[in-house]
Amino acid sequence: MFNKRSAVPLVLSFALAACASGPKGPSEAQTLTAAKANTQLGIEYLRTGEMDLSRKRLERAIKLAPDYAGAHDAIAVLYEQVGERELAEKHYRKSIRLEPDNAGSQNNYGQFLCTAKRYDEAEEIFKRAAGNPFYRKPWVPLTNAGICLLGVPDEKRAEEYFRQALESQPEYAPALMSMGSINYARGNYLSARAYLQRYEAVAEHTAESLWLAIRTEYSLRDHQAWGNYALMLRNSFPDSEQYMLLQEWENERRSGN
């Protein structure tokens, strides 16, 4: 990914080349370079929440190179985030038509389908992404397929995807967290603890993981452990939904309800 510093010179060099070339205009390679630079700037603006600037850059990229799949994928993510779902799907589909083997675009589109509760379609496209022999991170769409199936809910099939993801990458934190949640829900508290310990070894705790750890350790009657996790949740995520749940839970315990 270009950052702002690396992307700007590409735009400037294109502009200078265009002036130097006279009436012939920029070459196809120069136009594509400019489109890629605008796309990377659009992605950076998207990451920082500057949606209008992101949209302008990505629209510019598509105008420069209408068949550049990366620009269509990026603007699809933008449209999804601002709630323009029809436009988002249009550009996701365009991106995948232009690059049918782009597993990253497929993964993004799969997430879009999952949030729309189009679970069967999402699962199929996640499987396509994971099955791409040139994709170096198959555990990402595998985990996303599992998370999506939890929404069906189909816990058994979801677990299969999480296990496949961990076979590919044993240290993938989202898959470890998901397996911890499944085991906690089943009452397999020791297994839940084991997955959480593996999670802790590779990732920083989130409010969600701490809340799961609190409930797991409480179920295992390790009061010191759950107390430590509760303190971490209060200190690190005092405004989180999970901390509110912890307060309600503690109040209920004190009142004996």
pLDDT score of 250: 85
Band (163; pLDDT cuts 50, 70, 90): very high
Is 89 exposed, middle or buried (CB count within 10 Å of its CB: 0-12, 13-18, 19+)?
A: middle
Name all domains of the chain by residue range, CATH numbers in brackets.
1-100 (1.25.40.10)
Cα 103 to chain centroid distance, Å, stands at: 13
- Asked whether residue 4 carries a pLDDT value surpassing 90, the answer given is no
Task: Supply the pTM of this predicted model.
Answer: 0.79
d(Cα 10, Cα 112) in Å, to the nearest integer? Answer: 31
Read off the pLDDT of residues 51-92 as tens digits, 9 standing for 90 and up. Answer: 999 999 999 999 999 999 999 999 999 999 999 999 999 999
Q: What is the CB neighbour count within 10 angstroms for residue 239?
A: 7
pLDDT score of 12: 30
pLDDT score of 249: 87
- Asked whether residue 25 carries a pLDDT value surpassing 70, the answer given is no
